[in-house]
Structure 1
Amino acid sequence: MAKVMVESIVVVGGVVLLMLLLIFLLILLACKPWRFFLSRTSRTRTIKAQVDDIERPLVSEDLNFLQNQSNQFSGNYHFEGSCHSTEGHHNTPQLTQSDSFVLDVIADPSEDIFTGQTLKRALVTQHAVEEQKYESDILREFIPKGNAGSSLTLEVISGPSRGLRCSVQSTNATRLPLTLGRVAPSDLILKDSEISGKHVMINWNLNKLKWEVVDMGSLNGTLLNSKAIHHPDSGSRHWGHPTELANGDIITLGPSTKVFVQISSQTECLIPFGVGLASDPMALRRGAKKLPMEDVCYYHWPLPGADQFGIFGICDGHGGAGAATSASKILPEMVASILSDSFRRERVLSQCDASDVLRDAFLQTEACMDHYYEGCTATVLLVWADGHENFFVQCANVGDSACVINIDGKQIKMTEDHRITSYSERLRIQEVGEPLRDGETRLCGLNLGRMLGDKFLKQQEPRFSSDPYISQVLCIHQASRGFALLASDGFWDVVNFKKAIQLVQQVSSLGC
């Protein structure tokens, strides 16, 4: 009996010991204590890389290094075009995830245009590999694709809507087909009581690679170069047959509205500037973790409905990237919409002053934005041609993203600093309300007095403003050589105007 009891105790003890061992293994797997030993050496390497990264300059002081970096960059990326439509209804791409933007004025448009050159220094570490990969993602969004398409511009030359213009690209599927009619949801609304609600439709035929127009069963019919293209029985509301369009055609809708057709290859719409991107996201200096990028760059040349005009801009968000993203889309659309009015457009060309256009565009953009807890700076450079190969530029801004222009060695600042510490901004605040106290550098926690968005703060504090500073107009003659540099405070806080101009001149002298 005693022997059986001893054997039972041994069996029970073995089972308990096995259970304890299993529990210990489960705890070991859950806690993973070996990760502390394995990560110690990698943490040491990471800390060393961070220190080196923070100590390195934003841009290189060595001209030879820039040459090597340029050669290395050219070997890694292939540029297939200089100005093709890639997104939106504009003829040029939007830039994102960057804090600086270079516009180079070229005296001879036939020169090679290099798009997307970066001015940044790489590290020979794993951290540099990640940074370079991140930068290549940025450039993929920036580099125009080599897709030869077609650009269609419609201008109403007679009828109640005379002067109205609209442009669309064959590569922009989101805006096709294009409908013309008296009421929404027509894309081009013509205020003529004699045309139908949806009168004609224009589309890009991918098989024929041609633009085509078709009557949508209008009551008063459609003519193409005085030849009817509507259904023979106009009262049946049957659609007509698609008819090819050619450059110089005139479409007549109803008895009085005539639309002039302009068709050009997108390869003919070469932007007369070299456009470059310089980006060194500070978020990547905080170790391997990527923080959200709140800066957005963009440019559009030409503006739809205003072929002589182009816009270049940068927005720097705070509280998130939402406000900057919205402003970068709405602001150029507002400028294009205002300039599509032939009266406003001709007044700018005759007076050589776009102050009213820029001011109205900022006010309309602010009205359209519904960001209550996010805001952004906005700096816009409007460029237009006078028909004699000369250019005029004018800048507008809110916030502290600055623009500087260098023409034939002369440095010109085109923006005003709207930080609370700025003397001019403190004077403005003093004029509109309670003056700031000595040493007060923030208003409701923000260091800016002017911005787009931030609707909640503006409701609480009337001293905030979205009224832009408008620069004087600068004329750039045909024989001049120069460039414009737009950047957010992330760039200007570490590179002054003089050094920035030197860097651009150095890179330009290398043929980059």
Structure 2
Amino acid sequence: MAISSLCSRLLVAAGAVLLSVASWFSWRRRPPGPPGLGGIVPERQALLAHEDRPKEESASTSRPSAAPVEGSYEAPAASSAPVSAEDVVMAAAEPGPSRAPAAPVPPKPSPAESSEPAASGQGPAGKKRPAEPRPEDEEAIKARFNEELGPVPPRFAVRKEPAATVAAPREGASGGMVSLQELLDEQFGPPKFAVPKKPDQAGTGAEAGAGSGSGSKILTLVVTHGPEAGKRFVADNTSTEYVLGRLPDCAFQILDQEISGRHAAIRWHAGQGRWMLHDVGSLNGTSLGGAAIGKDYKVPGPEHPLLDGSLVDLGSATRLRAELGGAAPLPDEASLSPGRAGGWADSPPAPQPASPIGPPEEVDVPALGLRLAVHNRLGFDHKRMGQGCEDVPYWELPYAPYDGAGVLCVFDGHHGSKGAGQAREHLPAVLRTKLLLRDGRSAPQLAPPPPKPQPRRGEGEDGAGEEGEESGYAPSDDDDEEDRAAKAAANAARKKAKAEAAAKAAEAEARAAAEAAVAHAAAGDTGRQPPPPQGPPLPPLLEGRPDGAQQTLLKDVFLTTDTYMSMEEGCTATVVLLEARRGGEGGWLLQTANVGDSSAVLINFTKGTHARLSDDHRISSSAAERQRLAERGHTVRTRLYGLNISRMLGDRFLKDEDIGFLAEPFVSGVAEVGPEDSALLVVASDGLWDAVPEERAGKMLLQEAARSPPTARSAADLLLRQALAGHSKDDITVAVLELGPHLLPKGGSR
């Protein structure tokens, strides 16, 4: 339409220019008119001159003119007849120093007045003055134009459309005259969306009965769970399909990483009188009433009606509740529930999950005045590839045999979960052994670490030649090409067999070492609850310990654990030692040690502060680690040998190369929480901290405490939702430890 309009405008402008040029050339070639008509427009002047030329003699005899007056020009007598704009012409003044103003031309005289002399028959110096012009009608002007210029068709004539022919009425499907709806369906097909009728135009009889009370035309969707919890959407246009998804062009936009760009759609079904929901081919699926209603990825699913109070799950984090209002309740729909085959059957509603993000694992320890809530969630990328979670949380509350103590750990593996599993198995046992030995007690003996595998020889080393010579397959100069090729193939086969045998031997040795460790741990009640040591009660775990001694102890624990780790895989490790103070002082003491990027943050609601108890060993964010690697000849900014951290447990094949990777941890000082303080300790993997940095998490929890002090569970739920809202695709582990006097036994002390 825009291009057509522009072309029309250009044609009109071009035509106007051509018409102006033609008019100018016509005027230039036109002969000048008689004297005394200089003030008349050229077209009118030409017409008047043409009229006067053939009637010059008759005008002089039939209309005698009055005696001329020297130096003046008398205007004709004024007429009482009305003068129109078309009858007015400007007459030229006499030649001289001044020009007389133009006078209006009187109307055409009647036959009775035609014999009267004209007011101005003669001009000065005896020259004949032209007769006064008479008003001309439109037909006369057109005739004169055609005579002067020739008949010219209009340049911009508007083409008239031919008169529309009215078709004879024909019969419709019902036998009478065809209806407008039938004509529309014949021309354009059936309507895509049913147009609702107004109440006063509703059908009668059975049709009206089916439409009345079948459902509300106003649907409200309330987000009850997920990153957009509290958001509301209203669907009130029954001719529109509402799309739910993450993209901005969706009618209902929900910012959740597990929701597809276009996830599901809702529309009004006029025939059933209900709002219908269907999955449009989302990746993580749509559930209605706890039953999946979608099909495969990018394959739209069938439609299902939405009832008042229906629960819709988009992915695994977002849940919506449908609310219908403004109409009679749906008849006999409380018992309808989605069937497994995609239809609807009279059956009890399916059980609803408690929460889309799943409940955390909770542990209450009143003796220590604390409560723990842990979320361990598989990341989106690992879920899509069918892999397991690489995060492994671990806790011992209390941490026997130390009274009033506890341990909380988070391990985040890379390149698999093997490294995190090994750290969970060995680090708590090594820690317990080191603590008991420090305090002069007998400790369970640790299993020997697995031996290092022997390095494989390269093909160009001397051993390969010696092996070939001993086996009689060393090529010589006297051999031809075929013999050399056969000997080379035989050598390659022998090397491959030997390498496979060495690998199997190493695997069997490692398996035997692991079985020995498991048996040794089982002898000590799996290492979690060893028998109480002989002798006097153990001293406190943290209170009264020198900082230097604690740092040396924890570094030894990490380095010893690293000898039990895998050669090919590794993990981060964050360990928190907790102790509840004894006696009348009360309160809690905490100390952390970590390698990698799994952080620990302490938020004290009573004091309104938050502090980080760990260090970040990511190469991109730690200037100290980049400087340390630069001293070893590695100028890097983000990664070294594919790893974004420079300190970890495991990955021993990289550490044996002595290129800068370490298992030595950062050890914090001892943090204190007062006996009357309420606080939270958050220990989490980078799946949380990459989306919600430590500073932001601390401020957010303090803001929540200003409204209502968060519990361990509410804080863990909040942080997990924020991580999902921040599009975290990694595995997420969030462990929240709640400390406070309100968790202690009533009327008692530790």
Q: TM-score, normalized by length of structure 1?
A: 0.47
With a CA cutoff of 8 Å and minimum separation of 6, indicate the structure with the bigger relative contact order: 1
